[in-house]
Amino acid sequence: MMKKIILFTVHCSLFTLITLLMSCEKVSPIGVLVSNTAVEDRVKMSYMYYQDHKADTKWHNVDGKDEYTFLVGADSHLTTDGGRMREMLQNALDHDDLMITHLGDIADTKPEYYILLDDIIDEYRWKYAKKYYEEIYIGYTDDPSEKADPESYLYVDSLYGAAYTIDKVPYPFYPVVGNHDITHNGWALWSSIFHSSFYDVYVVVSNDEPITLDHFIFLDSASGTLGQKQVELIEEGVLDGHDYEKNGYLVRHTFVFGHTNIFRPSSLEFASTFPREESFFLLNQFKEWDARMVFFGHVHKWDYQQDGMTEYITLDSMCEANNPEPGDYLLRVHVKKDGTVTWEKVHMNYKKP
């Protein structure tokens, strides 16, 4: 009798455990203990934002230029020291990079870290606006403090004939979300600054017929899986650029950015990669997109793979806590007018005092 009672108790406990875990998307012991926003919710929110705001700022025009460049960094894990983040943004500003992309785990999940991050981005949004836009004073007085306030100016983009207040200046910083960005209330913090974790950006490289575009795709892989909604959207062709191709546009190069790495640099790297089916789904999808370059972070180690014209690059962490010594943690990609793509590693000098 006692044996049956024990068996029944064990069985009920297991049944309860399974029921709890089946009703929950966090299914590992760590995942159960550490809360985060599930990928399905993030993608639904991001897609709604994407649909509403896609036309706002997601276009760049480099027609007539011999080349454009973009800077890539990963895993900054910003806490109280913004040195490396400032160095990255300053480097992009100094080199006239068209855009800055970040591969996730941008800050560790505390509100004060995100406040610092937001301040740094605002600081460089202002520097960007002052460098590339015409600054028109709209203040009412000659008070030096009012003149020093970025909110006292309108920033005019002569190319598009648009005028922005400082908070609306389309600073070309494009991040993906990483696993450290979504723990606890991370998604609330991250999305309050960056809004969407699933989106794309186009660069017009030629206005001559056919209008030629380069396509930048940003995926949400922070949960180690794209999740069902994102897979469905990808399979529906939301990010394919087919709508533009139907209208006579030519998509020349596709660049893809994500957080979780597919390739492991060594046997001793136990950071979670994608499950098998998802790796195969993604690699097959990259082929369908005819991706020119694909970027990952997450594992904090450099890795390079090549498949014909497709290059897969996994970046090391640019965080001063992970890599305290100066090193080549960033990547700059050069895209020529004739379509030639080259890249170089970019040295970071900042060292924590």
| C-beta neighbour count of 256 within 10 angstroms | 24
| Residues of this chain, 190-229, that bind another protein according to CB under 8 A | 222-228
Residue with smaller CB distance to another protein, 196 or 225: 225
Taking CB under 8 A as the binding criterion, the range among 57-65, 197-205, 262-270, 330-338 that sits at the site for another protein is 262-270
Gap between the Cα atoms of 147 and 152, Å rounded: 7
Taking CB under 8 A as the binding criterion, the range among 82-90, 94-102, 269-277, 330-338 that sits at the site for another protein is 269-277
Residue with smaller CB distance to another protein, 6 or 159: 6
Residues 6+ apart with CB under 8 A from 187: 36, 37, 42, 177, 181
Which tokens belong to 51?
A: 């649909």
- Phi, psi (deg, nearest 5) at residue 267: -60, -25
Residue with smaller CB distance to another protein, 281 or 343: 281
Amino acid identity of residue 112, one-letter, is: E
Contact yes or no for 302/60 (Cβ under 8 A)? no
Report which secondary-structure segment, H or E, holds 201.
Answer: strand 199-206
258 binds another protein (CB under 8 A): no
Please, what is the minimum distance in Å from the beta carbon of residue 307 to another protein? 4
Which tokens belong to 208?
A: 């001559």
Of 9, 28, 158, 349, the residue at the interface with another protein (CB under 8 A) is 28
43 binds another protein (CB under 8 A): no
Sheet holding 162-164, edge to edge: 134-137, 153-157, 162-164
Q: Look at residues 186, 191, 180, 333 and name the one whose alpha carbon lies nearest to residue 256.
A: 333
Gap between the Cα atoms of 178 and 189, Å rounded: 13
Taking CB under 8 A as the binding criterion, the range among 14-22, 88-96, 160-168, 237-245 that sits at the site for another protein is 14-22
Of 27, 80, 148, 325, the residue at the interface with another protein (CB under 8 A) is 27
Of 5, 270, 338, 340, the residue at the interface with another protein (CB under 8 A) is 270
| C-beta neighbour count of 172 within 10 angstroms | 19
Count of residues of this chain found to bind another protein when the rule CB under 8 A is applied: 59
Binding pattern to another protein, positions 297-326, x when CB under 8 A? --------x-xx-x----------------
Which tokens belong to 48?
A: 């709604």
Taking CB under 8 A as the binding criterion, the range among 50-58, 61-69, 209-217, 278-286 that sits at the site for another protein is 278-286
Of 54, 252, 264, 345, the residue at the interface with another protein (CB under 8 A) is 264
Report which secondary-structure segment, H or E, holds 217.
Answer: strand 212-218
- Phi, psi (deg, nearest 5) at residue 7: -60, -45
Please, what is the minimum distance in Å from the beta carbon of residue 211 to another protein? 30
Q: Give me the residues that bind another protein (CB under 8 A), please.
A: 4, 7-8, 10-11, 14-15, 18, 21-22, 24-28, 30-32, 34, 36, 38-39, 179-180, 182-183, 222-228, 231, 260, 263-267, 269-278, 280-281, 283-284, 287, 305, 307-308, 310
